[in-house]
Amino acid sequence: MFKTPLDFACSALVAGGGVKDRRDIQLTLGFLAQAGQPLHGWQTPDGYKTDAATWLAPEALTRRADHAMALGARMAEPMYLQPFLSPASRERIAREAPATRTGLTLASPDFMRK
Amino acid sequence: MQTTAFSRRRFLLTTGSALAAAQAPRVWAQPAPAGASLGSGRLIVVFLRGAYDGLSALVPYADADYYSLRPNIAIAAPDGSLQTALKLDNTFALHPALSPLLPLWQQGVLGFVPAAGLPAPNRSHFDAQYQMEIAQSGKTSATPGWLNKLAALNGSTTSALGVGEANPAILAGDATVKLIPRGQAAQRTGVLANDKTRQALLDLYAGDDKLSEAFRMGAGSRIQSAQELTTEKMASDSRNLAAMPEAAAKIDGALPNAQAQNAQMLAASNGAADPVGLQLDAQHLGTLMRNDRKMRIGFLSAGGWDTHANQGHVTGQLAGRLGNLATGIAQLRRDFSEPGDVIVVMSEFGRTAFENGSRGTDHGFGNTMWLIGQRIHGGRWHGQWTGLAQGNLNDRRDIPAHHDYRAVLAQLLRPARLGAGHGVAGCELGHPHGRPAAKSLTLAGTKRWSGSSIRKFSLKDLHAEKPQGPVRLFFGPCATFGRRATTRAATGDRRAAGRGHARRRRHPGRRAKRRDRDAAWQIRAGRR
């Protein structure tokens, strides 16, 4: 299943071992607002939609990459995610400098699904 | 201009301004060379989420009920200053925060439909917005938005651009649309600006699955739009600096009244500063749609209209929003002022006619739709307006929706008909072969609403009259109004609602009929 922005943002935080400081929260809330799913921001009781049709939009994916790289620069590489990546993704990410590996892991197509 | 009831059907919107009438046929009658877009109209929808208070924007200042229902939040009747409403005609005035729009009214390109809305009241923002976005009743799963359908209808010749929302329902569907974020974020390429990162991401998303394709498309489109917007910003910065004194001088001589001059100056000086809010989004929309002429459908939204408390009057919360909206619309009009272009401003429903205990207004029903463009018979309002007398309100609290919003939209989408052979050249945003988009869009498909007391709109209305020009817009008669009023009279205030019709029943003569209908419809006798 395709992650909603909230799924994506929370799982990215968890991958870094949870919230470490204010900045993590700021980044996350900023991302959610921009992605169209501000935290507790829905006006009516029926809640946000959870389907891919609502959230899988071309340019929105590139915004996820922005967020992943920003958050990834602030955390250690989540090695436990390795088995969940496809071999192709794993191989491609390994070719990059360690500093960007975390961000790319979070930005990978594998991390977009739950 | 006189309003003559020349048949059961009455034209309320006739041909566009003299300018459009003079230019358009010549342009449209020519076979369109490939890629030419002079005659092709563009449609911009500005959606005000949260139900804006139409009674503060288009102020029925001549109606004493307006002031008794809203002792604290009414906009004062016009006295010529910017502290009161700006007079449009003998019925309505404009909120002073909307002064940048006054020139558009004076030029005859801005018109209002003061009582339009859903076929039946729905006071949930979410449901009502969704209905308006798919142009159908109820929640239907996986129904594409009507702007997306419209893009799909026109095939590869038309695409759509949305500014501000991640994936608005109105643009969701099969056709690929471009979506850019609100504000300055649209000018940024983010991590894609870094060559190494971009390459790594594109490699990760190299597959041919839906997700990868979407990413690649998004990356390409984002890089391109960010570049275009940045280039445009640099160009306009230097242009603004160079052009301001001349522009100011030109405005000085061109406009007849002081109010309009002020409004123009306001708009002009706002243009010189770095635009913010809706104006910036409008500018982005204009730039991207100018650079890619296949983009003929634009969507913009603004939130924060749900003014339940302290909505303010001439100043305050709502006034601020309206000011932002007005500069946004004025900006849009600068970019979308070709003969075929139309800008529509709509909201999911209106607000209560009376103010509540916290100096705000609650969820209502009918609301004012705005139409801007040379195709619009502007400088006047259209359709029915029955005032704020208790008996004429919906549920004794809201403006009724005398017109299905889809009836208004369907007329905008109606292809121009210039006679055989010029179907393609004359085609508006409708079907490429001259078929009205409305049919395929089910904008006209109001049969579902058969339980509703709202007048039904059908394609017959579109074709019943012989078109006289390429841009004729009109509303058919409100056939059920009599029934509606009578029903209301039975349950409510008979004197307020039913008098005209009772008289008609006693004297079914033709002249009496016509007089009563005029009285009931409260139709204005043209531009003043």
Residues B228-282: tens digit of each pLDDT = 998 888 887 777 767 655 555 554 444 445 455 444 444 444 334 456 789 999 9
A81 touches chain B (CB under 8 A): no
Tokens for A87, please give them: 């071999």
Task: Classify the phi-psi angles of B2: left when phi > 0, otherwise alpha if psi is within -120 to 50, otherwise beta.
Answer: beta
CB contact under 8 A, A63 and B197: no
**Percent of chain B at pLDDT exceeding 70:** 62
Return the pLDDT at A50: 87
Q: Flag the least confident range among B65-69, B345-349, B438-442.
A: B438-442
| pLDDT of B512 higher than 60 | no
Query: Hey, is B234 helix, strand or coil?
Result: helix
**Residue whose token pair is 């607002």:** A33
pLDDT band at B493 (very low <50, low <70, confident <90, very high): very low
**Distance (Å, rounded) from C-alpha A102 to C-alpha A108?**
10
Q: What is the mean pLDDT of residues B159-168?
A: 87
Return the pLDDT at B421: 28
Q: What is the mean pLDDT of residues B102-112?
A: 93
Return the pLDDT at B220: 92
Q: What is the mean pLDDT of residues B459-463?
A: 32
- Please report how the helices A98-107 and A58-72 are oriented relative to each other, as an axis angle in degrees rounded to 10: 140
Q: Flag the least confident range among A20-29, B152-161, B441-450, B478-487.
A: B478-487
* Mutation choice for B interface testing from A59, A86, A89 by most B CBs within 10 A: A59
Task: Classify the phi-psi angles of B164: left when phi > 0, otherwise alpha if psi is within -120 to 50, otherwise beta.
Answer: left
Q: Give residue ranges of B with CB < 8 Å to any A CB.
A: 50, 124-126, 142, 165-167, 172, 176, 178-181, 185, 190-192, 196-197, 200-201, 203-205, 207, 209-212, 214-215, 217-219, 221-222, 306
Tokens for B147, please give them: 């702007």
Q: Flag the least confident range among A34-48, A99-113, B121-135, B479-493.
A: B479-493
| pLDDT of B526 higher than 80 | no
Return the pLDDT at B399: 93
**Percent of chain B at pLDDT exceeding 90:** 37
CB contact under 8 A, A37 and B166: yes
Q: Flag the least confident range among B64-68, B393-397, B504-508.
A: B504-508
Q: Is B524 exposed, middle or buried (0-12, 13-18, 19+ CB in 10 A)?
A: middle
Closest CB to A92: pick one of B178, B191, B204.
B204
* Mutation choice for B interface testing from A32, A61, A100 by most B CBs within 10 A: A61
Return the pLDDT at B275: 66
pLDDT band at B377 (very low <50, low <70, confident <90, very high): confident
| pLDDT of B491 higher than 60 | no
Q: What is the mean pLDDT of residues B362-372?
A: 94
**Distance (Å, rounded) from C-alpha A104 to C-alpha A68?**
7
Return the pLDDT at B183: 86
CB contact under 8 A, A54 and B180: no
pLDDT band at B182 (very low <50, low <70, confident <90, very high): confident
Angle at B71 between CA B55 and CA B303, to 5 degrees: 40
Inter-CA distances, B293 with B34, B133, B159, B228, B389, Å: 12, 24, 9, 14, 47
**Distance (Å, rounded) from C-alpha B120 to C-alpha B131?**
11
Closest CB to A112: pick one of B124, B185, B211.
B211
Residues 6+ apart with CB under 8 A from A83: none
| pLDDT of B467 higher than 90 | no
| pLDDT of B384 higher than 80 | yes
CB contact under 8 A, A58 and B211: no
Sheet with B86-87, side-by-side order of all strands: B58-59, B93-94, B86-87
| pLDDT of B199 higher than 90 | yes
> Across the A/B interface, how many CB contacts are shorter than 8 Å?
101
A69 touches chain B (CB under 8 A): yes
Q: How far is B204 from chain A (nearest CA, A)?
A: 6
Rounded to 5 degrees, φ, ψ at B443 are -65, -30
First-to-final CA distance of chain B: 9
Chain A neighbors of B195, CB-CB under 8 A = none
Return the pLDDT at B452: 29
Q: What is the mean pLDDT of residues B56-84?
A: 94
Residue of A nearest to B181 (CA): A34
Return the pLDDT at A109: 96
**Distance (Å, rounded) from C-alpha B300 to C-alpha A111?**
31
Q: Is A48 exposed, middle or buried (0-12, 13-18, 19+ CB in 10 A)?
A: middle
Mean of the per-residue pLDDT values of chain B: 71
Q: What is the mean pLDDT of residues B329-338?
A: 93
Residue A99 C-alpha from the chain's centroid: 17
Q: Low-confidence residues of chain A, pLDDT below 50?
A: none
**Distance (Å, rounded) from C-alpha B88 to C-alpha B3?**
18
Tokens for A44, please give them: 């009516």
Closest CB to B211: pick one of A5, A43, A56.
A56
Contact between residue B300 and residue B281 where contact means Cβ atoms under 8 Å apart: yes
Of the candidates B386, B451, B383, B438, the one whose C-alpha atom is nearest the C-alpha of residue B412 is B438
Return the pLDDT at A2: 95
Q: How far is A60 from chain B (nearest CA, A)?
A: 7
Return the pLDDT at B24: 29
- What is the pTM for the complete model shown? 0.71
Return the pLDDT at B141: 66
Contact between residue B91 and residue B62 where contact means Cβ atoms under 8 Å apart: yes
CB contact under 8 A, B167 and A36: yes
| pLDDT of B134 higher than 70 | yes
**Distance (Å, rounded) from C-alpha B190 to C-alpha B162?**
19
**Distance (Å, rounded) from C-alpha B291 to C-alpha B385?**
41
Q: What is the mean pLDDT of residues B361-385?
A: 90
Return the pLDDT at A43: 60
pLDDT band at B366 (very low <50, low <70, confident <90, very high): very high
**Distance (Å, rounded) from C-alpha B89 to C-alpha B523?**
13
**Distance (Å, rounded) from C-alpha B255 to C-alpha B264?**
9
Query: Hey, is B166 helix, strand or coil?
Result: coil
Greater confidence, B167 or B100? B100
Rounded to 5 degrees, φ, ψ at B163 are -115, 125
Q: What is the mean pLDDT of residues B271-294?
A: 82
| pLDDT of B331 higher than 90 | yes
**Distance (Å, rounded) from C-alpha A48 to C-alpha B303?**
17
Return the pLDDT at B511: 60
Of the candidates B73, B132, B123, the one whose C-alpha atom is nearest the C-alpha of residue B394 is B123
Q: Are strands B93-94 and B58-59 parallel, antiparallel or unpaired?
A: antiparallel
CB contact under 8 A, A58 and B179: yes
Rounded to 5 degrees, φ, ψ at B201 are -65, -40
Tokens for B191, please give them: 């991590």
Tokens for B231, please give them: 């280039």
pLDDT band at B5 (very low <50, low <70, confident <90, very high): very low
Closest CB to A54: pick one of B167, B179, B222.
B167
